[in-house]
Amino acid sequence: MTFQDLNLNTPLYNALDDLGFTVPTPIQAEAFNVVSSGKDMVGIAQTGTGKTFAYMLPILKNLKFSTQETPRILILVPTRELVVQVVEEIEKLAKYINVRVLGVYGGTNINTQKQAIADGLDIMVATPGRFYDLALSRVLQLKNIQRLVIDEVDVMLDLGFRHQLINIFDILPERRQNIMFSATMTHDVDEMISEFFKSPERVSIAVSGTPLENILQSRYNVPNFYTKVNLLSHLLKDTDTFNKVLIFIGYKKLADLLFENLEKHFHDECCVIHSNKTQNYRLRSIEQFRNGDNRVLVATDVMARGLDIDNISHVINFDTPDYPENYMHRIGRTGRAEREGSSILFSTDKELESLEKIENLMNMTIPVIPFPEDVNISDELIEEERLVIKERNNPIKKDETIGPAYHEKKDKNKKENLGGSYKFKIAEKYKKPKTRGDKNYNKRNKKK
């Protein structure tokens, strides 16, 4: 099957020719007629299979020219980086079409975005939070939205966007087409589909958890963090083999620590992205890595989900992710567009349980590579790897017998603390107020 079989219009064919695309990916071929029909659709496909074009090709084909100022297509994505990337992909595809595209996300001046909205647009790409803020400000009118696309919905739910998505569903027009794409089908995703979609048609390409066949997977058994750093530095010295390396690590703090250690050996070759970095810093890091200015990019799972960067030679999993689906998304960054890729996993003894879940999901065993003899095994541990000793200077005593320093309270210190009722008990006993100011004393006695 080729793109000619989809009966696209001439402007789209010209754009595809410029991009050098002739054959649609399976998700693009399967989703085209469903999206074109106007039915609600749920697409399940692995990362890197061309999901953006899968929904944009039929949308752009059927999007007629209009001078109206309010958006007709809304595309929601989980991160700012994905907003920028999706806008770029749409602009490539709509190169010969008169269509206005705007990307909005948090962390930037909202007034500038309000002005851009007032100038008019056809397609809006947004993160849920900033879109909802703009909708509440009344500057963004939603009455003409015909199609809602939610991309990487599983990531959105992982990031806690469920309530924002529900609020967005409530303020959008009821008569609209819902299109959802996800790399994994989870209970939360299925629950949202059942609640808000109307008899959706499901398009599933490849079983969730099945690795891409053109990715060579391997792993090392490594005892601790700093030994992993030593092994990683050893591998990265081979610049010809490891020419474009994406390194995944689970936490922001450890991402910074790893970046600092790599900078000592590979100065100006490394960059890092995670959610604590500024927007400009993150975009610059991605662009430098994409252009080849930096050979190594250190990233957390959330920040790198869905990023489309070509020709990544290796994905290195510096840690073993707790959720096997995250491993699938990580390795999906390499071996894209039918190219061969390579994935390497570092695992400690504590991570073997997570490794077992990954191998069970893929129904395969990741082959182990012998640890290089010339790599130093470090004894230094990071805080997360050290044993936690509670009350280090005050260990729990096994002998709980009372020591010689113990003594009983004196009788005067055993008296009951009567609190505020004490003065009334004294008044009852002596028939007169113990303290001045008890104005109710005489009134109570008269009643008696």
The mean pLDDT of the chain is: 85
Residue 435 has pLDDT above 60, yes or no: no
Give the closest residue to 72 by CA, choosing from 134, 162, 140, 165: 140
Q: What angle do CA 299, 301, 305 make, to 5 degrees?
A: 100
Give the closest residue to 247 by CA, choosing from 161, 321, 255, 409: 255
pLDDT at 214: 84
Phi, psi of 371 (to 5 degrees): -70, 130
Q: Which residues pair with 400 in a beta bridge?
A: none
Residue 394 pLDDT level (bands cut at 50, 70, 90): low
Give the closest residue to 159 by CA, choosing from 7, 260, 275: 275
pLDDT in tens, 146-160: 999 999 887 788 777
Distance CA(319)–CA(336), nearest Å, equals 22
> Residue with structure tokens 């090709």?
57
pLDDT at 280: 86
pLDDT at 405: 65
Topology of the domain covering 215-385: Rossmann fold (3.40.50)
- Tell me the one-letter amino acid at 113: Q
pLDDT at 418: 58
Residue 430 pLDDT level (bands cut at 50, 70, 90): low
- pLDDT above 70 covers a percentage of the chain that reads 83
> Residue with structure tokens 């109710």?
440
Residue 446 has pLDDT above 70, yes or no: no
Phi, psi of 178 (to 5 degrees): -105, 125
Residue 182 pLDDT level (bands cut at 50, 70, 90): confident
Which DSSP symbol is given to 134? Answer: H
Phi, psi of 74 (to 5 degrees): -120, 125
Residue 195 pLDDT level (bands cut at 50, 70, 90): confident
Residues 6+ apart with CB under 8 A from 53: 24, 25, 28, 89, 93
Helix (H, G, I), strand (E, B) or coil at 435: coil
Q: What angle do CA 311, 298, 242 make, to 5 degrees?
A: 45
For 226, the enclosing helix (H) or strand (E) is helix 225-236
H-helix segments, 80-161: 80-93, 110-118, 128-136, 153-158
What is the DSSP code string of 359-412?
HHHHTS-PPBPPPPTTS-------GGGSPP-TTTTSPPPS--PPPTT--PPPGG
CA of 30: how far to CAs of 94, 169, 253, in Å? 21, 26, 41
Of the ranges 200-209, 268-277, 328-337, 382-391, which is most confident?
A: 268-277
Helix (H, G, I), strand (E, B) or coil at 125: strand
The residues spanned by each domain of the chain are 3-205, 215-385, 411-447
pLDDT at 406: 62
Q: Which residues pair with 216 in a beta bridge?
A: 342
Distance CA(34)–CA(40), nearest Å, equals 8
Residue 96 has pLDDT above 80, yes or no: yes
Residue 398 has pLDDT above 70, yes or no: no
Domains 3-205 and 215-385 share a fold: yes
Residue 440 has pLDDT above 70, yes or no: no
Which DSSP symbol is given to 50? Answer: -
Phi, psi of 228 (to 5 degrees): -60, -40
Distance CA(332)–CA(327), nearest Å, equals 9
pLDDT at 88: 95
Helix (H, G, I), strand (E, B) or coil at 434: coil
Q: Is 306 left (phi over 0), alpha (psi -120 to 50) or beta?
A: left
CATH number assigned to the domain covering 3-205: 3.40.50.300
pTM of the model: 0.62
pLDDT in tens, 232-242: 999 999 999 99
Distance CA(433)–CA(425), nearest Å, equals 10
Residue 2 has pLDDT above 60, yes or no: yes
pLDDT in tens, 34-78: 999 999 999 887 767 788 999 999 999 999 888 888 999 999 999
Helix (H, G, I), strand (E, B) or coil at 162: helix
The mean per-residue pLDDT over the stretch 372-394 comes to 81
pLDDT in tens, 292-329: 999 999 998 776 665 778 889 999 999 998 878 788 88
pLDDT at 340: 86
